[in-house]
Structure 1
Amino acid sequence: MHISAKELSARLPKNPAPKEWLAPDLSQDYVADIKYHDAVDGPGYRVAVYLSGCRFQCPGCYNQAVQSFRYGRPFTDQDFEEIMAALAEPYYQGLTLLGGEPFLNTRIALRLAKAVRERYPDKNIWSWSGYTYEELLQDSADKLELLDTIDVLVDGRFLEAEKDLTLSFRGSRNQRLVDVPASQQAGSVQLFDAWYVK
């Protein structure tokens, strides 16, 4: 039985909430980049949307410029339509949300993710986040809603001391590839399993 992120959140013992930054307070609805034919940020050909703004500011971050919420340009309706048109092509496996911090840019991220779920249910959605899965379960409603749309969450801050360039889709050993639907079903973190992921 599928359990939503909101239902899981209600079942968790309440630890002190992670430092809560809210998308409506921070996001400027900017994108740093939109990459078509991306073959790095998840399996297969993808559309990768780099959302601007991140408060984690991990030392050694490979994308420091995108920490600014005003980096890049405003996301437009034309961007949205071009992304949806691209994903209609059968050779695309899905959408990737990264940045920056997608969970601090939920207006854009949710709009895209919901449209992909509605129009292309056979496509998958990956997202990177400095939040851990557990932190997201204890956070705001928009973050929980976005979590419910994602297939794989690459979670956790980048830690320079744990940097490992041999890992697939991760920069440091503490980060996990979380199978979100399986985790929701099990009520605990289940890792994404694929032969090409170390």
Structure 2
Amino acid sequence: MLQILDIVEDTMVDGPGFRTSIYCAGCRHNCPGCHNPQSWDFEGGHAMTTEDIMRIIEADPYADVTFSGGDPMYQPEGFAELARTIKERTTKNIWCYTGFTFEVLITNPRQRALLEYIDVLVDGPFLKAERDESLCFRGSRNQRLVDVPASLKAGKVVLFDLSPMVKCESA
């Protein structure tokens, strides 16, 4: 079971193209200036099974998937199960937003297991002093778009190249 605040279909703000964004409950980062502080409560929202969520995801054959929150890395087993099911039953890519850095996540076996199914990780806490509205799909300059499969293979962070898909950053 996953504690879910909301599922937003056909959004274009949580990654490139149309996406089904799954917003989970629970976050301990408490970033000043967070755009979603109502997501901090681990008891918020309602419990959903992987199958409940998959019915919504599979209903739209064109939308990819984003995990956000809260922070999905606080529910790593449930999101790993969901991500594994998405990968087994669809060709959708998965983006995941987290306040943790990639370097921290790979040291935790539970969180690393979730990383194995993620295509792009938007990592790092939101830092108000680093806020930059010209950035695409992230709120502050410290946050990175991490190509997770390439990073796991290389054993270090490999940034995701968004430029072939969309032009976001100001020159």
TM-score greater than 0.5 by the shorter chain: yes
2:139 paired residue number: 171
Q: Any runs of at least 4 consecutive aligned residues in structure 1 with deviations exceeding 4 A, and if so which?
A: none
Q: Does 1:95 align with 2:65?
A: yes
Q: Does 1:114 align with 2:84?
A: yes
State the superposition RMSD in angstroms: 1.6
Equivalent position to 2:40, from 60, 67, 82: 67
1:146 paired residue number: 114
Say whether the 8 Å CA contact 1:103–1:143 is kept in structure 2.
yes
Say whether the 8 Å CA contact 2:25–2:43 is kept in structure 1.
yes
Residue aligned with 1:83, SS: helix
Residue aligned with 1:150, SS: coil
Q: Tell me the alpha carbon deviations over residues 43-95 of structure 1, each in whole angstroms, 9 at most, x when there is no partner.
A: 111110000000111111110010000111222466324234224x1x22x21
2:11 paired residue number: 38
Alpha-carbon distance between aligned partners in 1 of 2:29 and 2:162, rounded to the nearest angstrom: 29
Q: Tell me the amino acid that sits aligned with residue 55 of structure 2.
A: E
Alpha-carbon distance between aligned partners in 1 of 2:49 and 2:158, rounded to the nearest angstrom: 35
- Alpha-carbon spacing, 1:188–1:76, altered in 2? closer, same or farther (3 Å): closer
Q: Which has the larger radius of gyration?
A: 1
Q: Tell me the amino acid that sits aligned with residue 92 of structure 2.
A: K
Q: Following TM superposition, by how much is the alpha carbon of 1:159 offset from its aligned partner in structure 2, in angstroms? A: 0.5
1:3 paired residue number: none
Alpha-carbon distance between aligned partners in 2 of 1:187 and 1:85, rounded to the nearest angstrom: 33
Q: Tell me the amino acid that sits aligned with residue 176 of structure 1.
A: R
- The gaps in structure 2 that reach 5 residues or longer are none
Alpha-carbon distance between aligned partners in 1 of 2:42 and 2:146, rounded to the nearest angstrom: 26
Q: Tell me the amino acid that sits aligned with residue 180 of structure 1.
A: V
2:161 paired residue number: 193
- TM-score, normalisation: structure 1: 0.79
Say whether the 8 Å CA contact 2:134–2:168 is kept in structure 1.
no
Aligned length: 166
Q: Tell me the amino acid that sits aligned with residue 64 of structure 1.
A: P
Equivalent position to 1:134, from 103, 110, 113: 103
Q: Tell me the amino acid that sits aligned with residue 117 of structure 1.
A: K
Say whether the 8 Å CA contact 1:110–1:146 is kept in structure 2.
yes
Alpha-carbon distance between aligned partners in 2 of 1:147 and 1:36, rounded to the nearest angstrom: 23
Q: Tell me the amino acid that sits aligned with residue 114 of structure 1.
A: R
